[in-house]
Amino acid sequence: MKNIPRINKSGPQPQKLAALRQAHREWSESPDVLTRLTRRLSTTLKLETQLAILAEELSSVVPFDCMNYRHQIAAREFVYATGMGGPHRCDYRLNLEGSFYGTLSLSRRQKFTEQELEGIELMLAAAICPVRNACQFIAIEQAALTDSLTGVPNKRAMDEVLARACSLGDRHGDNYSLILCDLDHFKDVNDQHGHVVGDHILKLAAAELEKAVRNSDSVYRFGGEEFAILLPHTDECHARAVADRILEYIRSISVNCGDVDVSVTTSCGVAQRLPDESADQWLARADEALYRAKDHGRNCTRVFAVIGN
């Protein structure tokens, strides 16, 4: 028989346990600014909260008037700013293990001394790992909310935004409208020309939708060939105008497939949210309007108009 090593179940020695408690007490209560900074940063993965902590701790060591941070995380431009700037500025590129995690700038009215710049660099060195983790967390969240083919937000992201729009609409009385778009006869495109062409058209359609709407509007891939557009501060009349513009942009798509150019059209259904209406009810009315557009020959817009509105 093989000798099986015994497992010591007595636990750590009392002296080691006491030393561990002491180390934890010193770490959690240390007045040292670097220890306090890393301890506070470790409590959150929200990048905005981390930057607010960093600004507070930095200002206790090196006074400044303004801190700016900017980073492109996946498709999102993340910007954080606090305070008002001055003529003297120091800029830092945050890098760790060959990866870039944004630029940070400090500015003020007086020139920074060499000792102050050294202090800033020590603080940033302590902060870079938590900042890296927060950036990666944002990227993971974005990936979960983004359609991998078209690059626009997916249905999960849309569900979250619709719920938030319902809440804000009830609280402030703002108008919100929803457009559902479905590419007409898209199954025929896939059947006749293949899914590679179909996927390419879906990408082009998403790009045309984003060009057709305002910066304040948001485009989502709702299903296979179905897209949704949320329009804040927009009534059904103006939403219809956007939907009609979408028809024109989608009609401009043309993909050369050798002997033939493949083009597509779309049908649009519009619904303005009603007071106290749930996201599901609102979505169902937009879907009903889309069905009417399909039933009336496609390549057109229909509005779910409510009598009395």
Q: What is the pLDDT of residue 163?
A: 94
CA distance 183 to 91: 48
Q: How many domains does the chain have?
A: 2
Q: Is 225 a catalytic residue?
A: yes
Q: How many residues does the chain have?
A: 309
Q: Which residues pair with 99 in a beta bridge?
A: 96
State whether 162 and 292 are in the same domain. yes
State whether 112 and 196 are in the same domain. no
State whether 138 and 188 are in the same domain. no
Residue 65: domain span = 30-144
Residue among 225, 226, 236, 277 flagged as catalytic: 225
Q: What is the pLDDT of residue 127?
A: 96
State whether 159 and 296 are in the same domain. yes
**pLDDT per residue rounded down to tens, the chain (309 residues):** 556 555 555 555 888 888 878 777 776 776 789 999 999 999 999 999 999 999 999 999 999 999 999 999 977 899 999 988 889 999 999 999 999 999 999 999 999 999 999 999 999 999 999 999 999 999 998 899 999 999 999 999 999 999 999 999 998 889 999 999 999 999 999 999 999 999 999 999 999 999 999 999 999 999 899 999 999 999 999 999 999 999 999 999 999 988 899 999 999 999 999 999 999 999 999 999 999 999 999 999 999 977 555
State whether 295 and 180 are in the same domain. yes
Residue 4 lies in a domain: no
CA distance 281 to 65: 49
State whether 69 and 172 are in the same domain. no
The single-letter code of the amino acid at 125 is A
Quote the pTM value: 0.73
Q: What is the pLDDT of residue 183?
A: 97
Q: Indicate the pairing of strand 266-272 with strand 176-183.
A: antiparallel
Residue 67 lies in a domain: yes
